[in-house]
Amino acid sequence: MQGNQTYATSNAHGRPVRESGSQGRREGRHRRTTRRAGRWHRRLLAYRDVELLPSPAPAGAGEECLLLVHIRKVVGRVTYRACDECAEGVITDVVLDEPFRDCGLGTRALSHLRSRHPGVAWRTTLETRLTRGLLRRMRVPRAPVEGNCSHMRPASAGSDSAPAPAPASAPGSR
């Protein structure tokens, strides 16, 4: 049955139907494909699909961590120490995956930190290229390495104790 064709060779108006023309297209010739990619889409994902979850830092030592999670995958982390008594906070580490670097996710994470800890003055000890621009835009000043508040400083030997009395001179020696 070679003459039996099931495909239409013309439409209702008698015009021939194109084989590969507009059958696959939905509307316009220059319409975007179904898969979105690029900076705009990552920015949209950063504000819609990324969750910000607090957790204890893996290093410990009184640090906390803000995890940035996109569909059950950690795509970033902000490690910080916050002291509510002296209203100071120090950002010690910011890590973002490469696809999420220039989409506003770092800005969103630091804004979230500021809203979680209102009234805290934030500083940083970071000096990497990624974080330098982000923290400058967010107006987070650079802190000296030992510039932690008294609650965060490790106690050094003899700093909290009274000074040792001067040794008494032996009798007969002048």
Domains of the chain: 55-137 (3.40.630.30)
- The answer to whether 80 and 110 have CB atoms below 8 angstroms apart is no
**Number of C-beta neighbours around residue 124 at 10 A:** 23
Per-residue confidence in pLDDT tens, the chain, 174 aa: 566 656 556 666 666 666 555 555 556 666 666 656 676 776 776 778 889 999 987 776 778 999 999 888 999 999 998 887 888 888 888 898 887 787 788 888 989 998 999 988 888 888 787 778 888 888 888 876 655 566 555 544 444 444 444 445 555 555
- Rounded to whole angstroms, the Cα distance separating 58 from 9 reads 67
- Rounded to whole angstroms, the Cα distance separating 145 from 57 reads 19
From first CA to last CA, the distance across the chain in angstroms is: 130
pTM of the predicted structure, to 2 decimals: 0.60
Question: Looking at residue 10, what DSSP letter applies?
Answer: B
**Tokens (6 digits) for 43:** 């920015």
